[in-house]
Structure formats: structure tokens, C-alpha cells
Structure 1
Amino acid sequence: MKRIDKIYRRLLHNFREVTLNQLLKIQGNSAKEIAEQLKMERSNVSFELNNLVRSKKAIKVKTFPVRYVPVEVVERTFNMKWNTEKMEVDELHQCSGNQKRVPRKISTNPLELMIGAKGSLKKAISQAKAAVFYPPHGLHMLLLGPTGSGKSLFANRIYQFAIYSDILKPGSPFITFNCADYYNNPQLLLSQLFGHKKGSFTGADEDKAGLVEQADGGILFMDEIHRLPPEGQEMLFYFIDSGAYNRLGETEHRRTSKVLFICATTENPGSALLKTFLRRIPMTIHIPSLEERSLKERVELTTFLLGKEAERIKKNLNVHIDVYNALIHSATFGNVGQLKSNVQLVCAHGFLHHLDRDDVVELTVRDLPDDIKQDWISSSKNIERSKMISEYVNITTIISPIVEDETTKIDDDLSFNLYDLIEEKVNILNKEGLSKKEINQYILTDLHLHVRSFFHQRTFQNYNLLKFADDEVIRLTKELKEVAEHELNCKFDRKFIYFLSMHIDAFLKRGKQTDVLNAQETDEIRDTYVKEYQVALIFKDKIQEYCRVVVPEIEVIYLTMLIQSIKSLEANKRVGIVVAAHGNSMASSMVDVAIELLGSTPIAAVDMPLSVSPSQIMERLEAKIKQVDEGEGVLMLVDMGSLAMLGTKLEEKTGINIKTISNVTTSMVLDAVRKVNYLNLNLHAIYESVTKDFTELWGRTPQSPGKQKALVSICTTGSGTAKKLEEILTTIVNQAADDPIKILTVSSIKLANSIKEIEKEYEILATVGTKNPKINAPHVSLEVLIEGEGERMIHQAITKGTVPPGDGLAGTNIMVRELCEDSLKKYLVFLNPYHIIDILLEWLQTIQDELGIMLNNAVMIKVIMHTAFAFERVIKDHPIAFSEEDAIDDQLKKVYHITERTLKPYEQKLGLAISEDEKLFIAAIFAEELHGQMF
């Protein structure tokens, strides 16, 4: 017997003697109930039940959860012929002929239906039940949990549970209020909460009921309660105490309301809320993050979200286990909210690839967005993770549409059907004659715009920009906004004025814009964003006319990028920012200003009271760096140079690429956040831009007695090599110096005159490069710098003789790291270049200790490059052969065994085993160096 026939027979059997009242009460069987009876997978049962609906043999009843009943059972029980045009109904009552409609009541405990009810949410559900039942009217609750963890959903389920338990009547109000919407406007807040009387303020044209009045006899959900100002908290706790209130402008009439409050926050309530307010909220409930949930729960959440997308598409999904693997581990910072966003993107990709199929949409690795796919490809734990996931899903799992009951479902983020939009756009583009490849690229770009913007976008508050940009600049920006809207035929909100004002203000104050893009990149921007570039040229003319300055071409390119970024709101992976400063709230204050003024970004503060130990500082920094990392590295802005020295150790601990800038200020934090959010620069480009901008500002501030210190980089052309040399020197300076040191680049052709001019203004600590100017300062040639000793010499020149740390990773590996990074970023396809360099540097330290040798930088670079590509060749399955059999002597064999033994833990870490021949090549490099150091 086929599976579908077994399921249909079970349905018939379950309702063979059902009465009308029984059928109206239970409404049918759920997929889970049938699966447990037949000992089948729920997803497979759901698939076949939906096939029965399509074949008009069963009716789908969209309760919570969805239920199914055979058509013949309904026809027999109702004594009527079923209308087969209507195979999906909200409830059977409406189709029961002349039968009296039974009042609707939730028949299943909504809290127990939540994923994790018997696991990670068990304690939270127990607390919620206790709060709802507490006499006489329940306890007010505070939900704590990170962004995207499901606090709003949990609040809604508490409301449904109160109805289910007869604590609230069916149809009782559930009102949601986001406190951030009325931040810093007490009068408007008062009006929203308690209502107002006609004429109580300008614009109050009629009497209006407030939220506490609308929520009478029900629940008022206060989201982001930490954004409620102290005045607002005081208003609320007076109402909580007495249950009485007045509308704004009303004095003679005293009103009462019975409201149960559920509040939610992502912040520490002890520091974000008044103690007097907290005392009125006795029940605190922690909602776990996605990371705190078990693998089983994460699989169930992913399955549920996929089922919701299947309902949108109106097709079944056939999901490969690798897609589950990638999705479950893709939500690194946004919890269930980000997981939902990623599921929508994957389904949208799959839907686009299977537009020609009516029955099912297959989701495979190729349907993963590039960033999720890259993370999945580069992970060494995929086999282990897939094995664990296989306990809960098959190699391919069929997922059918999930429809929640109207009374229990949460409003969706997307107010339109994304899949209808895709079909409509594909049809339009087909008619215009575009190729399938062009259409796919166009639609996929659009998908990222729509889906990601819903997750990342935040309400933008109206803060005092005048503190950070001149009034004249703001007036100019408003004119530019009108120009952009006219030329691009679109509307911008006030974010445009904020970001463009700050950008222009920064350009005017610094006098010039640092060029961190090469010619190829700038040409690509001009060609890609033609309209935006034309608008930026108009901006250039107006800025030059208005401010009487010369606007260079690189600034036009940046304006183009800024216009495009604000226009599209496309949220790619961004560089994270950690601000660390000594004192009780110095870092937090700077971060708060940046967030309030520039909106959401991956940024965190680390406040360091003087009582905190160094080990605690390291732990806090490590935690915050992991928190803000989205895969593009982290920029650390610190107040003292001593903190900058921790960058390498933190890189080692976290495996995250980190750049550090000292002497942090609020302006520096704002500049970094602006560049992260709206210029889409990578970590290196942001670091270079912020460093140069603020080094120039430091250079123009009054100096203490004596000249400003400088390092001079000398190069033949002053272009490519000079730029790389400048990067390396900047990294060394950041590790060695507490005070600002200028890095100057000069051409060796004009060296004689240039060096004399520099000596007049600066104290030259050392010169580095292709030609020795023969002045009273140490000179380091490129050869010496590359070999390793030069880095130590520069460090000694900066610190006046202090020797840098000699632990290998923290001391002499800047050159190795910088030079290897450049090559590996270009040529590695599957491996993460930053991660593999960290691993191989650690291994090199071990093998040097084992062999009793010291490798210079040139040899270390050679080994790292060879070994990194050896690991890459394992993935590609293209190992190279060691053909020099006669060269394998006793010494090489001995070195080979040490190489093999020390490399093994790192092979296990990466999940990749290098071949014997590859290891012989590596061992031969060590053997040659060992032989050279013996003689």
C-alpha cells in the first residue's frame, strides 16, 4: 500500500464514528497526530495530507496547528454535498449548514505549542503561566533577550494562553507599543499612552483614547521599554499603582483601566530602567538566544520558517540537508530574526531557479546566498554538523505549507508576497528580451535589497545634527537632497541629510579625502552606478560653488557610493567596531551618540573602570569582538596605546581579523560608523581612511614642546610599493607607540630636497626603503625589513631602545602576515586567508621549537604560502608529487616525521589531511634551513 493511501485510511478510521459536535470541536487531525500514529516523519505526512487536499479527498482546516479531515466524513456528518472549490477553510463551523455557530475558543495551549516548550523555553513558559494565574489580575512581566530572539512572539503567546485559560475573554485586546517611536517627546508619549482631550495642544482636533484605555481588560505589550524616558516610566508606574489616569488636558474626569503589562528589552534592566519602575514589574523572564537553544530546536525553527515560506509560494519545498546545515549556522548575531531573513533569501533564490515547476521547489547549496554559501564552504565542521542534523531530518526533506490560526499568528515583516513580486518582475524582464542569467542577477540583487533591509532597518530618530555638522553644510545638503530626488526620480528620508551632512563636513574640515581605492575600483564604480555618478558630479559643482573649495575626483567617487548606499539600503556584511576606554562610561557614551545619530551598526562599547583587572579586560574585549563580527573583521578604537598592543593576542584568541586605532574620540567613532554603514569599505580601507584622517587632525593640533615624530618611507615610484610599506609601518607604529607618529612617503628621486624639508618640521625617528638618506636616524632597507630584523630596529627607534615582545605572533610577524595576506587573498578560493595565516604562524612557532632553529621572514613566508596552497589542493583534490626520491636522506626523513607530527593537530582543526608528498616538500624547506644554520 502506498504511503498516501495509509494516511488516508488512518484519517477515515479516526473519524468513523464522529458526531457533528465532536467534529466541530476537534476540527480534524494534525500532521503530527497522524505521524505519531503511523510512526512516520511529520514532514512526509504533511506532504501527503496536502496532496490529499489537492486531489479533493481531504479538507485543510487552518486552525493552530493546521488540521485535516476527509471530505466524505464532512459530507456524511453535515448531511450535505461538499463544495469542492473550497478545499481550505478557516473553520468547519461556517460550513455546517444551518447549525448554530459555536463561539470560537482556542482549543490548544499556545505556550506548549512553541518550539522549545519542553527545552530552552521550559522555565520561561513556567514563569509566564505563574504570572498569568497570579491573583487577582496577574503579574506584570519583563521579557529579557537579545534582538531577534522572539520576545514579541512570546508576548503574543502569553496573551493567547490567557484566553485559553479563561483568564481573558476571547477577543480581549492585545495592544503593542514600541517605546522607541516616542523617545524624547514626553507630550506625544503622554498622549499616546493616556489619550488627549480636544484642544489640549496644537493639532488635537478631537478627543482621542490612549493605549491604556484601548487595552482595558487585556494586555499592553511595551517593546524596547529601555527607550522609555524616565518621565514615561514615572507616568506608567503611577498608573500601575492606582489603575487611574487622566487624558492629556483633562482634569475633571478620572478614568480607570485594568491592564496587564508585558515589557521587553535587550538591555540590562538594572542600568536602563528606574528602580521604582522595576519594582512594579515583579516577573522577569529570560528569552534564550538562538545560540542557547539546542540543535533539535534550531532544526525545528528552521523547518517552521521554511514551512511559512512554502505557504507563501503555495508549493512544497524539497530541502537538502546541506541547506539546513548552512542555515542553522548562518544566524551569527541576529538570532531567530536573522535566521528568518536568511530562510527567506534561500527560498527566494530557489523559487527563482524553479519558476518552471508547478509542484515543488528544490533547495540545494546553489540556492544559498553567496555569503552564507562561502561560510558553509569554508567551515571545517560540515561533515560533523550534517551528521548531527541527520538525526532530525533526512538527506532531503519535504516541507509542506504551514498556516497558523488567525488568532495566534504574528504579523509578518513583509507586507507583500515576495514570490508574486519575483514572478511579476521575471515576466517583465522576459518581455524586454533579457537573458536568463541577466534576469537572475537582477532579481537576486533585488531580493537582497528587500529581505535584508527589513531585518537591518531601524527607526531613525531626529537628533541634534548641529553638534556635529555646521549649519551652512546642513543647508547645502538639503539642496543636494532635492537635486538627487529630482535626478534619480526617488524620495529620500532624513537619513540622507544626516549622512551627507556629516560626510561633507568631514571633507571640509580635513581639507582632502584619502584615496583608498585603486584606479580599477573607481572605474568600476563609475561604470556600475552611472546615474549616481552623474548626480555626484552635480554635487561636486554645487559644493565647489557653495564652499569655495576644490573637490577631487576621489571625493566624487565617495559621493557616488554614498548616494547608492543610502538609495538602496542594501545590508551587506559590515566591519564590526569595538570602542574601549578607561573609566566607568567613557566608551558607552561615545557609542550611544554614534548609534543615536547614525542608526544601527555592529558596534559595542567596553568600559574599563580602574578596578578591573587586565584578564577581565581581555575577556570583555574578546566577548564584544565576537559579538560585533559579521565576517569582515573588527576595527578596535581605544583610548590608550597599551590597549592597542592587545590586538594581536585578541586576533589569536578569536580568529577574527582586527585593526586597532589609539586616541579614540567621539568624532572618530562617528567617522568609523559612517564609513561602515554607508561607504561599504572593507576593514583595511576603513582603518587606513580613519587613521589618516585623524592623524592629519592630530598633526594640526597644538604640539607639546619639540617637533612631531615621524617615520619616512622612501620608494622609487612613490606608488604601489610605497603604499604597502606605509601600511606595514602604520601597523608597527600602532603596536609600539602611545603617541601619534606621522608616516611620510617620499620619492627616492627627490630625496635630497624632500628630507631637508621634513627635518625642519619633524623629528625623524627612522627611515625605511630603497635608498639611505644618510641622516642622523637609523635606516632600514627593504631587504632587512622583509627578513625580519628591520621590524625590531623600527620598534627600538620608536621606543628608544625597548625590545619588542618576542613571542613570535605578537612581535616579528607583521611583515610575514602583511605580505602573505596580500597573496593569499588573491589566490585562495576555499580557505579563509586570515584564519589560515593565524593557524600556520602558530604551527611555525611550534616546529621552530622542535627543530631548534630560527626562521627568517623570507623562509616563513615561503613555508606559509606553500602549506596554505597544500591545504587548498586537498579541497581541490590536486596534490603535487615529490619526484626527487634520491634527495630523501636520513635528515629529511627525521625532519619529515617532525613536520608530520606537529602539523597533525592543525590538519584535524581544518578537517583536511595533506598528502605525504606535500609534506616532503615542506620538510625539505626546513631541512635546507637546518643544514644552513649548522654550518
Structure 2
Amino acid sequence: MKRIDKIYHQLLDNFRESTINQLLKVQGNSAKEIAQQLQMERSNVSFELNNLVRSKKVIKVKTFPVRYVPVETVEKTFGCKWNTDDMEVEELKQHSGHPKRMRQDISTNPLELMIGAKGSLKKAISQAKAAVFYPPHGLHMLLLGPTGSGKSLFANRIYQFAIYSEILKPGAPFITFNCADYYNNPQLLLSQLFGHKKGSFTGAGDDKVGLVEQADGGILFMDEIHRLPPEGQEMLFYFIDSGTYNRLGETEHKRTSKVLFICATTENPSSALLKTFLRRIPMTIHIPSLEERSLQERVELTTFLLGKEAERIKKNLSVHIDVYNALIHSAKFGNVGQLKSNVQLVCAHGFLNNLDRDDIVELTVRDLPEDIKQDWISSSKNIERSKMISEYVNITTIISPIVEDETTKIDEDLSFNLYHLIEQKVKMLNKEGLSRKDINQYILTDIHLHVRSFFNQRTFQNYNLLKFVEDDVLQITKELKEVAEHELNCKFDRKFIYFLSMHIDSFLKRGKQIDVLNTQETDEIRDTHVKEYQVALIFKDKIEEYFRVVIPEIEVIYLTMLIHSIKSLEENKRVGIVVAAHGNSMANSLVEVATELLGSTPIVAVDMPLAVSPSEIIECLAAKIQEVDEGEGILMLVDMGSLAMLESRLEEKTGVKIKTISNVTTSMVLDAVRKVNYLNLNLHAIYDSVKKDFIELWDKQPAASGKKKALVSICTTGSGTAKKLEEILTTIVNKASDDPIKILTVSSIKLANSIKKIEQEYEIVATVGTKNPKIDAPHVSLEVLIEGEGEKMIQQAITKGHAPINGGLTSPNIIVRELCEDSLKKYLVFLNPYHITEILLEWLQTIQDELGIILNNSVMIKVIVHTAFAFERVIKQNPIAFSDEEEITDELEKVYHLTEQTLIPYEEKLGLNISRDEKMFIASIFAEELQP
């Protein structure tokens, strides 16, 4: 970099984030200050600063000593064009009162603000402007470019430009439609694009507005247009030609809509689209790949992405030039999308390594992920590349958080903040007593997996595994796969290679395994998964021989668990999914999208033409249910509530447990398939999870009375109790009904006013809590709820006395489980509260059967909590003694022996033996319940 450029960039860096007040206070830098920063002679710096003033890049402020400030900084800060080479301080102060009075002199054109507007995007921007201004209503556009090049962003900028140019009105719609969601489904596509009329088909209870109507007066962005079937293209070009359309079910009414189409594709349009359709899209705009962009643009893009990460971290970044070099040349495919992923990886590594610093995050070569670092190290062009990059950045560049202007800001998914997660995990692992080195290694593995998978979901489905692991690891894993298949007599797919290679690679880089399991747990794994353990021992020998390392026993245990988990993905029984919808191909379309994106799963589609009779529907559904049933039950996703009512009849006919969710969507099917494929959840858990994820959608649907339904929780105690009660009620509601029912928590203070307001908006099905509001709805007191009868009362109130659609509440009941887990997780140190609750609920059912009694909830909670603490005290070696003053009657002795006998299997399962005195205490609780 030339001396004059270094001085100018230093001056720019010093005032990059200055406010008006800061600029008025500092008024620029003197030549001496810049000379000290760059370690140059003051006279040389003064000479170059005056050259910059003459070239109208820097303003000279007439103070003593003379100070200098970049023109760019002044124009940005004061929002006006500056034409003089020098100025008095008073001039600057005068402008401070009217910072926006000449705003129009500075370009706020959304297209011109894009990186590359005067370079690689110049032609694309010129074409876009021409298309927007073309009379009378603009030209439809087709954006061509590889994955990750920024087609969606460019389409959004065209929309912003149309508003900026007053071609579109402020607030005009910008609707995005992904054609892949409706691949090969013309009927569903027709409804989505053009809407339907009330009553046009079964379940069409209301008129539906299509996307063409929603986009009236604005832009409809059709992404992945090459996935639009020929029928869909024909529908669109008819509308483009005529400007008119009908909703599905309409015959006479002709509707009109003025829509500008922007389409995007990664494919060759002449082979992927109909020629008749292409003729209607006259403007084809090429969006360049990252490789086609100049080095300066790639540096600017990298700086911008780093600035966005700095905004998330809320700290400045200090970025070494080698990091720029590695990042710019690491995105060999995937374009800006991959560059963004790599920037996130580097920033996450750097953030972890700088957790103890509040002021700045330094990014150096050590923060590069291993694959990027190796590419950088192995390149023979590094010196040459760094020299070229030094024209645009310093050896170390300070990057401040970038906050985009609201008019050009693109919404991003900010629900997940990786940096918050890193901080939380570090705190948690610190409490566990792990070393800083071990903590970093674990979290770096998580970071790598998260960012890569996040990128994969949005761009590439076939990311090269070699970017994750070393080549030799991949080779040995392929050999191990053959060993496992032979020993376990089964076949594994590529998931085996993926999971196992990542695990081995992580172990080799970590150097040693952190033992987080106790002896009892490792013994249980050996005993439970004998075959997998034997295979893991073979793996141990082969890995030791191949890499000349020592594999500790704990790593063999982890390999055992991993083999079992992968085997479970292949072989274990999974919940089946049946997607049922009216129409000729809607259900099939939904299933095709899900299986294409997320792979094979036990899922079938049932398309039901409107003419099919109910008996035929039941026969068809029963056959499909049995086809995908693997023994874990079936989740039915249906398009309307009438199908949900068939659940109990189908259970009777097939003998299969079924849970049903109405109002199926593409997103819902994808969510269910993902959870079946990758989370080891049972039917109830998947049903609850999917239902919870889509509850916001259901909340918007009114009840039959015209109001949404609500269950009111009345509480006088603290927020903790209120929250727990809300959780319990939510679980009861989810088990009892498919209908959306809101849980509302109110204070017993001013209860009458609160209830009146709720009744105006909601249909209250029941109230629960400390005070009876005395309204026309059942009330369940806390005492009755905890004792057990309240749960049944709430169920009956929800279902109006009928059996619930989902087969009723499971046994043991919700109250006992929730309250036990809540109590135990606060006080148990060694035992898992959820695991011990599950075990003791099972035991409690056995002993009730043996004693011939039914315990109420209060006694069940008392027994479970006491017994859990008894097991905990075995570990602590601190058992309690049964008082000698207590009389041991024959009845108590009999109950004691039953207690002792029924506990034996659970003691063996836990590897813990409760003392006689502890068991006597437990037996005495049962004996009290046996007394008349």
C-alpha cells in the first residue's frame, strides 16, 4: 500500500463510527497524531495530508494545530455534500443544527449502496433500473446466478429501489414464493397463487387470498423458478398476458392485479423453463459469482460480513491481514453464502479465545478453522495475495459493528445467537471443573458443526465431507463401516460415515477424551449393548494401529454409544407419519418435498378426491397406517378437522396408537419428519413438540362460538408457582384435545375485572387455582388438582364430557410426574430427576397392584420424593434410621416385605441398595393408606 493510501485509511478508521458531537469535539486528527499512529515522520504525513486535501478526499480544519478529517466522514455524519477543501470550525458547528438539510445530495439509492455497484454489479444494476422504469408498469425480470451469489438480496434491493424511485408506493408488498415447495402439484399451486372461493372444495370454509392478489401493486419474487412445473408456468404466463385471473371455484368473476415478477434460478433457463414462459420475462440479469467479483469487492464483502458479526458480538474486531487473505480465498464454491459461513466460523473461534476481553475480539491465524487454515498454509501465493490485499486493509484492521440503515436492511434470523450460546456453555463447563483447553475443544467442535450445518441447510445438500475431517480419518471410517456391517449383520448408509468420522477426527485433535460418565453408567452401557461394545473394541484396535495412538476405555464406551445411536437411526422403531389431505395430489406433494429435503422416513401420503366416501377413506387410511407402522404409533397430519375425528375408529380398526394434528402445512410435515429422523422421541413427545411449534398458527383460529378458547389459571403466589401451574395445564390440554386452547394466568387480586376482560375475547372452558371467580365455567381448586380429581375435571370440561380425541390422559397422571420432577431437580445432586421419576412411577404402579390400593396424588408425590432421596442418600452414604419407638406391627412387616420385593428390580437397575430402615419408612406410608 502506498504511503498516501495508508495515511488516508488510518484517518478513515479513526473516524469511521464518529457521531456529530464526537466530530465537533475532536474536529479531526493532526499530522503529528497520524504520524505517531503509523510511526512515520510528521513532515511526510503533513505532505500527504495536503495532497489528500487537494484531491478533495480530506478537509483541512483551520484550528491550531491544523486538523484533518475525511470528506466521506463529514458527508456521512452531517448528511450533506461538502465541496470546500478547508473550513472554519464555525462552519462545521452551523451544519450541526441542520444535519439533514442537504440529504438529497448524498445517494441513498438502494442499488447504488450495494457492494460492487460500480464494478461487477454495474451492468446488473443498470438492467434492473431500466426494467423498473420501463413503461407502463416495468419489465418482469429473471435473475441468473449460482447458489449463494445473492439473488434474493438483489431482488429485495430492486424492490427498495422501486419505492425509492416512487415507481411503487411506500409500503407496497414484496412477496416471496419458493417454487420448490409446490413442485409437481398444480392444484395446490393454483390455490397458493390465485386463492380459492369459499366452498370451492371441502374444508374451504373461507375465501382465500392468493399471492397474486397479495402482491397487487408490488413485487412477487419467484425463487427457484426452475422447480415450477410446466402447468404452473402456463398459469403464470396466462396471467402475465391478460392481467386477469379467477380464484379457484370462481367462474364468472374476473379479477385484476398489477404485479411485477422477479424470478430467480441457478439453472440454464433455456433448458429448465418453457420458451413460451421465457418470452414473458424479457429482462435477464446475471448476478456474478464471488470469483467473478474484483479483489476490492471481495475485501469489502468480507469487511461487511465481519461488521455484521461485530454487531452480534457487540464488540470491535481486530482482524489480521492473514485472516482476510484466508477468508477471501476460502470460498471456493458457495459464493457469498459460503464466505458468510466461514466468517461466522472465524468470529466464533475468535470470540471463544477472547472471552476474557471486554473491549475487542482479535482475529488471527490461530482462529481459522482447521480446513481454512490448512488451505492458507499450503498456498504458495500467500505473500503475493497479502501484498494485493494490503492495498485495501492494514496489517491489522479495526472493524466496528455495522448497523444497516432501516430502509435497506434485510431481515435475518436472529433468534439464534451463537455468541450467547458460547458464553453460556463456557459458564456451564467451568462449573463442571473442566480445563480451559478442554472447554475450548468441546465448544469449537460444536461451533464447527453448527455453522456448517446452518450453511448446508440454506445452500448445499452435498457439502464435501473432507471439509470436516482429514482424508485418512475418512478412509479408516469406511473400513470400520464394513466391519460394523459384518459384525452386526446390518447395512448402514452415509450417516454412519458422517457421524463416526466426525467423532474420530474430534478425538484425534482433542488428544484425550474427557470422562463425563461414572463407573455405574459405563458398566450399564457394556451390559446393555454387548454387540456394539464388541464392535467398539475392534474399532479401538484398528484406530490404535492406524494412527499410533492409545484409545482409553472411556473412548470405547463412547464408540459403543455412537454405534448404537447410528444403528438406532437405521433399525430402531420409529414413529410413522401419515399425511392425509383432500384433493388429487396435495398430500403427495407435501410428502415429496419432505423426503427430498430430509431423506427417507416412515411416511406415506393419502390423497382423497372429494368424491370418495367416508368408509373408503377409513379403509385407505387404515391400510396406509399399517404400511408405515413400526410399533411406535402413527402421527397423522391432516388438512381439516373432520379427518381428525376418525382417529378413534382407526385405532380400533388397526390396533395402532394414533395422534392427529389438523391444518397440515409443508412446514409442519418437514418439522415432523425431522423430529422422527433425527430425534429419539416417542409418539407423544413428537406430537407435543410439533403442536407446540405450530401453536401460534392455531391461536389465530377462532372457536366455534366465534371466540378462541382459554383455560384460566388463577394464582396468588410468586411467578415460579404460576409458571409451573401453566406448564402442568398446558400438558393436560395437549393430552386432552387437538383444539387450540390458550392458558391465561391472572392474579386473584382484582379477579372480577380480569375475568370480564378475558370473557370479551375468549370462551373460558374452565378456571383453575386459588380463588373461584364464580362464572359459567367449571372451577378446579389447587387442592383438588393436586389430589388428582382436578385433572379429570379439566379433561371433561375441555371435551364436554366426551372421550378426548387423543385417547385420554396417560397413566401415571401428569400432575404427579410434573411436581415430582420439579421438586427433585432442585435438590438431587447425583441422580437424574427425570430418570428416577420415571423409574419410581413404574415401581409405584407395581406396588399399588400388589397392595390392591389406589393412592391419591399427594401420597404418590410423597412416596416418590422420599424414595428418590433414599437412593440419593445411598450414594452419599448417609441413610436415615427408623425410630426404635415406632411399633412394627404385623401389618407393617407384611407391607415392608412387599416394598422390599418390588424394589429389588429397580435397585438392580440403579446399582443402589436402600437400607432396611429407609424401606421401613416407605412401607409405613403405604401402611397408613391401608388403614380403614
Under a length normalisation based on structure 2, what TM-score does the superposition of the two structures give?
A: 0.44
Under a length normalisation based on structure 1, what TM-score does the superposition of the two structures give?
A: 0.44
